[in-house]
Amino acid sequence: MLIGIIGAPNKGKSTMFSALTMNDVGIADYPFTTIDPNLGIAYATKKCVHTEFGVHCRPRHAMCIDGIRHFPVNVIDVAGLVEGAHEGKGMGNQFINDLASSDAFIMVVDASGKTDPNGNAATDADPMEDVKIIKNELVEWLYGVIKKHMHTISRADDGIMALHGVLASLKVTPDEIARVANKLMLPSGRINWGDDMVRRFSSELLDAAKPYIIAANKSDMAGASEHIATLRAAFGEDRVMPCSAAIELALRKAVKSGAIDYIPGTREINIKKSEMGRDQANAIAYMEGFLKQHGTNIQELINKATFELLDNIVVYPVEDDNKLTDSVENILPDALLIKRGSTALDLAMRIHTDIGKNMLYAIDARTKKRLSKTYVLKDDDVIKIVSAAK
């Protein structure tokens, strides 16, 4: 799973990437600080089921802190997109290509209106323009990919599979392509769509295959609240999340330095240093007040992208359904992100192909009921897979 952090230049993408991953990357208040894409690991978080069972888990991978399980999620931060990027302007469309394998996008805009769509300083720029330009650049890029191969696509009897062959790097399925074509009532046999059809298809396919959330960044700055209200009116409250990547990064750095205790996603900090300079004390006091009132919402962004946009649930496979352990007595050792609608067989195949191929049935650790291969998994299921494989 890969989540792309995308946006126009100088909107705080690299700051957000650093806050999520604690990777040191170039951060500056001018356009195109990022040249090569940054790859890192963030952690989505969710309450662990060990709190329900009255045990203490011992994860083999990732972490469980104060009853909150952490799930590693790959993230990528690329150079800012400017209008005309698909034509080679700014850093060109290479950076759109870098995002092709993303499963979802966090689209970062400057809610304060202090930077224009090119990343230059402004007094009251409209972040709506950022969204419009970014979406249009993605559509035009995909349109260009399809048009480039249209001659080849048009010669295939099965247009859907021909399109899939061209778009395989986007991680889209033939079913997704067919659904979009059917929705737009586009012919899907021998495809030879006109320009308008290709653009409409490109727009719909991106919305279907690359869901996104708008991160209204710099929400701590003057003027942000008005722009956030406008964004929410246009795209809906669920689509727009106010956030402050700069404050989140500063808080995580303060934790690293030993100045405070702070758990991402919460609204409280504990000041550990009894002595600190006036500037640091004032900064922490300001951040503490902002956190209590608003939250930075950076953790919430990665959680929303992981569990809502990508519709993942968490399943805990165990070998002993009574002790909730693996073969070496680790309690609830694994917590797997898996697509909603997945079956017990899908889980078995995820654990190991041999276990899946030889699966007999599953057991629900809560009810001790035997479950079939076709059982549809529920969020927070604790499951034992019974297989003939050794």
Check which CATH number belongs to the domain holding 337 and give it. 3.10.20.30
Domain endpoint, select from 235, 255, 281: 235
Given a cut of 60, is residue 334 above it in pLDDT? yes
Are 272 and 209 within 8 A, CB to CB?
Answer: no
DSSP characters over 177-189: HHHHHHHTT---S
pLDDT digits (tens, 9 = 90+) for 177-198: 999 999 999 988 888 899 999 9
Given a cut of 60, is residue 335 above it in pLDDT? yes
Q: Does residue 286 share a domain with residue 230?
A: no
Q: Does residue 342 share a domain with residue 283?
A: no
* Helix, strand or coil, per DSSP, at residue 92: coil
d(CA 218, CA 296) in angstroms, rounded, equals: 10
Within a domain: 372: yes
Given a cut of 90, is residue 99 above it in pLDDT? no
Given a cut of 50, is residue 369 above it in pLDDT? yes
Looking at per-residue confidence, does 343 or 23 come out higher?
A: 343
Given a cut of 60, is residue 29 above it in pLDDT? no
Within a domain: 321: yes
* Helix, strand or coil, per DSSP, at residue 261: strand
Q: Does residue 267 share a domain with residue 165?
A: no
Structural element, H or E, at residue 120: none
Mean pLDDT is highest, among 61-70, 84-93, 355-364, for 355-364
DSSP letter at 37 equals P
- Find the range with the poorest average confidence among 27-41, 235-249, 316-330, 373-387: 27-41
Q: Does residue 82 share a domain with residue 189?
A: yes
d(CA 337, CA 73) in angstroms, rounded, equals: 10
Mean pLDDT across the chain: 89
pLDDT the model gives residue 390: 67
DSSP letter at 305 equals I
Q: Does residue 116 share a domain with residue 86?
A: yes
Amino acid at 264: P
DSSP letter at 107 equals E
pLDDT the model gives residue 25: 46
Q: Which residues pair with 336 in a beta bridge?
A: 315
Q: Does residue 160 share a domain with residue 21?
A: yes
Q: Does residue 257 share a domain with residue 334?
A: no
Query: Structure tokens of 140?
Result: 């035009």
pLDDT the model gives residue 35: 47
Q: Does residue 254 share a domain with residue 231?
A: no
Q: Does residue 195 share a domain with residue 93?
A: yes
DSSP characters over 370-385: EE-TTPBP-TTEEEEE
Radius of gyration of the chain, Cα coordinates, nearest whole angstrom: 23
Within a domain: 368: yes
Our count of domains for the chain comes to 3
- Find the range with the poorest average confidence among 58-62, 103-107, 217-221, 363-367: 58-62
Return the CATH number at 85.
Answer: 1.10.8.470
Query: Structure tokens of 360?
Result: 């007999």
Within a domain: 349: yes
Within a domain: 118: yes
Angle at 216 between CA 222 and CA 228, to 5 degrees: 60
Given a cut of 70, is residue 146 above it in pLDDT? yes
Query: Structure tokens of 168?
Result: 């395989």
> Region 36-46: what's the mean pLDDT?
87
Domain endpoint, select from 235, 264, 282: 235
Residue 168 φ/ψ, nearest 5 degrees: -60, -35
> Region 219-237: what's the mean pLDDT?
94
Query: pLDDT class for 27, splitting at 50, 70, 90?
Result: very low
Are 180 and 208 within 8 A, CB to CB?
Answer: yes
Given a cut of 60, is residue 55 above it in pLDDT? yes
Domain endpoint, select from 216, 235, 254: 235
Which of 351-371 are b and which e, b meaning 16 or more Cβ less than 10 Å from the residue's Cβ? beeebbeebeebbbbeeeeeb
Within a domain: 213: yes
Given a cut of 90, is residue 71 above it in pLDDT? yes
Non-local (6+) Cβ contacts of 72 within 8 A are 41, 42, 43, 61, 62
pLDDT the model gives residue 33: 44
Within a domain: 141: yes
Q: Which domain holds residue 344?
A: 312-387
Q: Does residue 224 share a domain with residue 345?
A: no
Within a domain: 231: yes
Q: Does residue 175 share a domain with residue 274?
A: no
pLDDT the model gives residue 79: 72
Structural element, H or E, at residue 340: none
> Region 353-371: what's the mean pLDDT?
96
pLDDT the model gives residue 30: 40
d(CA 307, CA 305) in angstroms, rounded, equals: 6
pLDDT the model gives residue 95: 58
Query: Structure tokens of 193?
Result: 């769509």
> Region 360-389: what's the mean pLDDT?
96
- Find the range with the poorest average confidence among 75-89, 207-221, 243-257: 75-89
Q: What share of the chain in percent tops pLDDT 90?
A: 66
Which of 227-258 are b and which e, b meaning 16 or more Cβ less than 10 Å from the residue's Cβ? bbebbbeebeeebbbbbbbbbbbbbbebbeee
Q: Does residue 196 share a domain with residue 343?
A: no
Q: Which residues pair with 269 in a beta bridge?
A: 262
Query: Structure tokens of 377?
Result: 């998994």
pLDDT digits (tens, 9 = 90+) for 295-327: 999 999 999 999 999 999 999 999 999 999 999
- Find the range with the poorest average confidence among 176-180, 229-233, 274-278: 274-278
